[in-house]
Amino acid sequence: MLNKKKVSEYLEENPELLDGNYGHTAKILNVSYEAVRSAARRLKESLKRQAPQKQSLPDKDLKGVLTKAKTWQLPNGEWRESLTFQVDYAEQWDGYKKEFLDATEAIGSKTFKGLKPVKPKGEVCLEISFPDLHFGKGDIEQIANRFIEGALELLEKSRPFGIERVLLPVGNDGLNSEGKRYTTTGGTPQDDSVDWRTSFRHYWATLAATITNIASEYPVDVLVIPGNHDTERMFYIGDVLSAYFKDNPSVAVQNSGEYRTYYEYGTNMILFTHGDKEKVADLPLIMATEQPEMFARTKYREVHMGHLHKEKVNEYRGIKTRFLPSICSTDEWHKMMGYANQKAGQAFLWNRNSGLEGYFQKNFFD
């Protein structure tokens, strides 16, 4: 009687017998039926591991790789098999990536009007700040158009002052909720107008399209600022932008995940935070404590915040604290409560040597 190795070798030489009549093969080799069946099963599993085949998963529009297979015989003589698949996420990403890029192209082609010829560069960093966009609340097409239109219009107004680079803080409640939960990060329910996938894709595509346009002429520093509505998802947005612009030398994305982010330009120091956690009067001392070396190098220092959806400026020990306005529409709850605010985005002109020289504002009305 042949040993197991000889049986396996015979089946390897005659692969057509792997799915044939094991009883007939057993008689030819003078071995038991079980010996042939076991050898065939081991050989089939080995072949599948060596050459994984992509197959459609049952009842799902996904592709997968066969990772495990087994067969067994029922009491009535019938044979059954069990197949285990692992989703091929590399192939899935190709589909997702196309949707992302299509979304970027659609938003960009609809809203971009083209930029004017470049003016001579100077010693100004242009900060374009649009906090509290709340993508997912209200009309996301409207908020996307407002953001792109406002950012490019403010850029045009600032050109004569000699822009050296552009600073673009993003986030600060850029998204209205934390995904499938449809709540703020702290758990407060939100009445989103679109599903979480749509808000995520529209927001990052809007940012990517705007950054691409600006970066065609100026270096762009992107700071990702978490808010109290989107602390988690803003980190994901930041990583998407980092990957999207990884090969663009004109774009630098800072996505630390920290609640307070600092920026230094010449003699200027700016702290960005959402404004819902710290006591505002404490922020100047927090700046000096967390960034003592930057604090010592600079002369002009400010704190820029969102959260309130309206402009509010104060000064503590020579350091201005600014709550910036928002361009997002007023939802039903705010209307019911009688809250109202001027819809606006702002752009600040930071001179490398002489500090803040002024700002422009783009106003919107519902």
Q: What beta strand segments (E) does the chain contain?
A: 54-56, 63-73, 79-87, 124-129, 163-171, 220-225, 251-254, 261-265, 268-272, 300-305, 312-316, 319-323, 343-351, 355-364
Would 63 be classed as within a structural domain?
Answer: no
More confident residue, 49 or 323: 323
Q: Does 241 lie in the same domain as 133?
A: yes
Q: What is the pLDDT of residues 285-297, one digit of tens each?
A: 999 999 999 999 9
CA distance 125 to 266: 9
Task: Output the pLDDT for position 274.
Answer: 97
Percent of the chain, pLDDT > 90? Answer: 57
Q: Does 259 lie in the same domain as 138?
A: yes
| Mean pLDDT value of segment 308-331 | 92
Domain assignment of residue 37, given as a range: 1-51
Q: Does the pLDDT of residue 252 top 90, yes or no?
A: yes
Q: Does 141 lie in the same domain as 286?
A: yes
Task: Output the pLDDT for position 87.
Answer: 56
Q: Does 154 lie in the same domain as 31?
A: no
Diameter of the chain by CA atoms? 98
39: CB partners within 8 A, 6+ apart: 4, 7, 8, 11
Total-model pTM? 0.71
Task: Output the pLDDT for position 332.
Answer: 65
| Mean pLDDT value of segment 178-184 | 92
Task: Output the pLDDT for position 89.
Answer: 53
More confident residue, 56 or 5: 5
Q: Does 245 lie in the same domain as 122?
A: yes
* Pair of tokens at residue 181: 């939960």
> Exposure of 45 by Cβ count < 10 A (0-12 exposed, 13-18 middle, 19+ buried)?
middle
Task: Output the pLDDT for position 294.
Answer: 97
Q: Give, in order, the Cα–Cα distances in Å from 113 to each of 34, 61, 110.
A: 75, 39, 9
CA distance 135 to 143: 7
Three-state DSSP class for 66? strand
Helix (H) or strand (E) holding 289: helix 283-290
The total of structural domains in the chain comes to 2
Q: Does 237 lie in the same domain as 120?
A: yes
Q: Which of 309, 200, 324 is nearest to 270 (CA)?
A: 324
* Pair of tokens at residue 127: 């900060």
Task: Output the pLDDT for position 131.
Answer: 97
Task: Output the pLDDT for position 215.
Answer: 93
pLDDT band at residue 106 using 50, 70 and 90 as cut-offs? low
What is the layout of strands, in order, in the sheet containing 312-316? 261-265, 268-272, 300-305, 319-323, 312-316
Q: Does the pLDDT of residue 228 top 60, yes or no?
A: yes
- Mean pLDDT lowest for which of 85-89, 179-183, 191-195? 85-89
Q: Scanning the structure block, which residue is given the tokens 């600092």?
A: 262
More confident residue, 339 or 30: 30
Would 67 be classed as within a structural domain?
Answer: no
DSSP string for residues in 291-336: -HHHHHH-SEEEEEE-SSSS-EEEEETTEEEEEPP--SPP-HHHHH
Would 144 be classed as within a structural domain?
Answer: yes
Percent of the chain, pLDDT > 70? Answer: 75
The whole-angstrom distance between residue 291's C-alpha and the CA centroid of its chain comes to: 28
pLDDT band at residue 41 using 50, 70 and 90 as cut-offs? confident
Would 33 be classed as within a structural domain?
Answer: yes
Q: What is the pLDDT of residues 130-152, one digit of tens each?
A: 999 999 998 888 999 999 999 99
CB 326 within 8 A of CB 341: yes
pLDDT band at residue 107 using 50, 70 and 90 as cut-offs? low
Q: What mean pLDDT, rounded, does the chain reach?
A: 84
Q: Does 177 lie in the same domain as 323?
A: yes
The CATH number given to whatever domain includes residue 245 is: 3.60.21.10
pLDDT band at residue 59 using 50, 70 and 90 as cut-offs? very low
* Pair of tokens at residue 241: 């932008």
Pairing of strands 163-171, 220-225: parallel
Q: Does 183 lie in the same domain as 315?
A: yes
Would 89 be classed as within a structural domain?
Answer: no
Would 142 be classed as within a structural domain?
Answer: yes
Would 267 be classed as within a structural domain?
Answer: yes
Q: Does 111 lie in the same domain as 6?
A: no
Would 316 be classed as within a structural domain?
Answer: yes
